[in-house]
Amino acid sequence: KSIKFYLVAFRSVRKATADDTLLYKLDAAAQAEALESGGLLRYWYGRLNAQRECLAMCVWSSRDAAIRAGTLPAHIQAASVAHRMYDTYSLERYWL
């Protein structure tokens, strides 16, 4: 029997004017909410480099768990500021 995991990668270029304190607060709330909702196995957030690029990844027990977490209030609130905080961002999804 094989085991599959669902990975969501968030690649971004943060605006120079981004409110880092707010971003970290919203990110922490969304992560806590995702853990409580079930299915989030691992969350990793990289460091911002000199070009303001960053990579964050979530490993989920299933695609359904990831989709469900994306509908929760803290995740919606975090996503709602993306246009103000990032020059660019993208979501990539993979099965592992």
- Distance linking the first and last C-alpha atoms of the chain: 14
Structural domains in the chain, CATH included, are 6-95 (3.30.70.100)
How far from the centroid of its chain's Cα atoms is residue 80's Cα? 13
Check: CB of residue 11 under 8 Å from CB of residue 89: yes
Mean pLDDT of 9-15: 98
User: What would the pLDDT profile of 52-89 be if each residue is shown by its tens digit?
Assistant: 999 999 999 999 999 999 999 999 999 999 999 999 99
Q: What is the pTM of this model?
A: 0.90
